[in-house]
Amino acid sequence: MSMNPTMTDESLFTRTADLVERALEGLLEDAQLPPNLLEATRHGVLGGGKRLRPALVILSCEACGGSAEDATHAAAALELVHCFSLVHDDLPALDNDLLRRGAPTLHVQSGEAMAILAGDLMLPLAFQALTGGGASKETASMLVGELAEGTKAMVIGQVFDTLGGMPVDLAPEDQLRLVHRNKTGALLRAACRMGAFCGNASGETLDALTAYGEAVGLMFQVVDDLLDVTQTAEHIGKATGKDEASGKLTYPGLLGVERSRQVVLDLQEQALTSLASIGDAADPLKDLCQYMAIRTK
Amino acid sequence: MSMNPTMTDESLFTRTADLVERALEGLLEDAQLPPNLLEATRHGVLGGGKRLRPALVILSCEACGGSAEDATHAAAALELVHCFSLVHDDLPALDNDLLRRGAPTLHVQSGEAMAILAGDLMLPLAFQALTGGGASKETASMLVGELAEGTKAMVIGQVFDTLGGMPVDLAPEDQLRLVHRNKTGALLRAACRMGAFCGNASGETLDALTAYGEAVGLMFQVVDDLLDVTQTAEHIGKATGKDEASGKLTYPGLLGVERSRQVVLDLQEQALTSLASIGDAADPLKDLCQYMAIRTK
């Protein structure tokens, strides 16, 4: 299970990121948008770095014996939903972030009205993408349901995180897990499940990939919380120290840095164990999990 | 083709509005939302008056020999998209409207962050609803594609209307038609086509309902433009005279009130002619068209 020493950050993501970037460019081109909306949407969608979520979709599909091509449209759809959430979460009325991936956020670049509308546009483009591709209507319908469920949970998580509404009788760590599971975890879980659908997974393999997605989904956010307190803004390309400044509930804030690092190790172990039944075909997902545990941006 | 004299406004819409209201309540209940998000979403979605778009979905399905139940989930999904667009279009960065259906708009009621997020939530709820119902996966997939296309066009229309981006070489009346066809017309067209899909329409009937939807879709907006200059805010439950004040391109602004009324009559004639091949089963759609031409709010 040790990480392939030649499997650098770049080689882990290059292939899937290239595939999804081309698919996203194609979707935006086919959408026949007016030039101002196209420019804003491209700013919010393209040039997005590693493309972690699409990698999860495609590698999950391949772990079931499917091909990358079987899952590329689903990967692009999921990434559109992720980009939509970033654009809207950055808005002044929400997180009011000015910097994203080292560039101005969309409302800074194109104005608030355009950022709202370009974000809105990304959702129908995402669902439309799922009805394309070579998948059967049965699979398309499952993909739509899964992406809708993940998107819904993500919005609920953002409400919890910024506006409250959580059950009051939960212990702080349970509250935190509930926020993270919805806000970040649900879409990573959906990524793995959508990949499984594209790869026509058996029930057992779908369960394995679901458990993996849940573990890495929570782990991703704990690592994110840790980076917010340990890294500089210059390094990760967006503002840091914001969680503490805003009084947000975070893992290091609640458990301290050391215990949060232990949570990461435990979740990593859970994720890797989940994949046991799949065998060698899941090796790239194991590498991805190990990268996610030790990433520095 | 004359309007049934007993077919009042109320009896035209009561049955379909009741069906869709119950379906929407069910969808919101099943979504298991936190109480603050549920309250905001209910404010933005429920108690919505006539429910014109759902009526078009259901009556189109019935015109093809389908039942109201076959189309109710699609009608609710389409209405969720309409409600999403109202909530976001009302935002301060867009139309900055304070009043809608005689009540405070959602951002006035629940704050801007919640209005953005509750609007965002309505889209995945809509697409999720399409994968439910008793329709085949084939039909579900067609419904998803159609709703996505209508939603996309609606966003493009709002960009044209508020942020520009239209082809510069178009004559003013063509520009206006392009805005309206996208901003309002596309979703009304989608309503008729989605009803046709739910009713397993033949190709000929789908074409007829598409042509009807396009005609009533444009007519609806011309009537809306007319109401903005001829009615009081008290009567129609939202601010009037705004189009002129904001310098927006409108039919009465461009053609005058009388010629705009003639455009309504011409579109009404087109809509009714489109339905000729369907026969008596399309009578309720004819009544609806005549109501839409003479509505006063």
Name the minimum distance, in Å, from the CA of A265 to any CA of chain B: 31
- Count Cβ atoms within 10 A of the Cβ of residue B18 and give its class: 0-12 exposed, 13-18 middle, 19 or more buried: exposed
d(CA A261, CA A219): 10
Structural domain that includes position A76: 9-294
Q: Are B53 and B92 in contact (CB under 8 A)?
A: no
Q: Is residue B3 assigned to a domain?
A: no
Q: Is residue A43 part of a domain?
A: yes
For residues B55 and B12, the answer to whether their CB atoms sit within 8 Å is yes
The answer to whether residue B21 sits within a structural domain is: yes
Q: What is the pLDDT of residues A75-109, one digit of tens each?
A: 999 999 999 999 999 999 999 999 988 899 999 99
Q: How far apart are CA A31 and CA B152, in angstroms?
A: 8
Longest Cα–Cα distance of chain A, Å, equals 50
Please provide residue B17's backbone torsions phi and psi, each rounded to the nearest 5 degrees. -65, -40
Is the CB of residue B149 less than 8 Å away from at least one CB of chain A? yes
Q: Is A158 a member of any domain?
A: yes
CB distance A34–B88 less than 8 Å? no
- At B233 the pLDDT is 56
- The per-residue pLDDT for range A113-149, each reduced to its tens digit, is 999 999 999 999 999 999 987 789 999 999 999 999 9
The reported pLDDT for the residue numbered A171 is: 92
**pLDDT class of A2 with cuts at 50, 70, 90:** very low
On whether any CB of chain B is under 8 Å from the CB of A165, the answer is yes
| B216 assigned to some structural domain | yes
Q: What is the CATH number of the domain that holds A279?
A: 1.10.600.10
What ipTM was reported for this prediction? 0.93
pLDDT tens-digit map of A170-185: 998 999 999 999 999 9
**How many separate domains does chain B show?**
1
Give how far A228 is from chain B: nearest CA, Å. 23
Name the residue among A221, A218, A217 with its Cα closest to residue A60: A217
A-chain CB neighbours of B131 within 8 Å are 141-142, 144-145, 148
- Residue A78, domain member (yes or no): yes
Would you say residue A284 lies in a domain?
A: yes
- A183-208 pLDDT tens trace: 999 999 999 999 999 999 999 999 99
CA distance B276 to chain A (A): 32
pLDDT of residue B32: 95
Could you tell me the CA-to-CA distances from B252 to B249, B259, B280 in Å, in that order? 9, 8, 35
Full pLDDT tens readout for chain B, 297 residues: 444 444 556 678 999 999 999 999 999 999 999 999 999 999 999 987 899 999 999 999 999 999 999 999 999 999 999 999 999 999 999 999 999 888 999 999 999 999 999 999 999 999 999 998 778 999 999 999 999 999 999 999 999 999 999 988 999 899 999 999 999 999 999 999 999 999 999 999 999 999 999 999 999 999 999 998 887 655 656 666 666 666 678 999 999 999 999 999 999 999 999 999 999 999 999 999 999 999 877
Please indicate, yes or no, if residue B18 is contained in any of the structural domains.
Answer: yes
pLDDT band at A17 (very low <50, low <70, confident <90, very high): very high
**Could you say which of A111, A158, A164 has the minimum Cβ distance to residue B36?**
A164
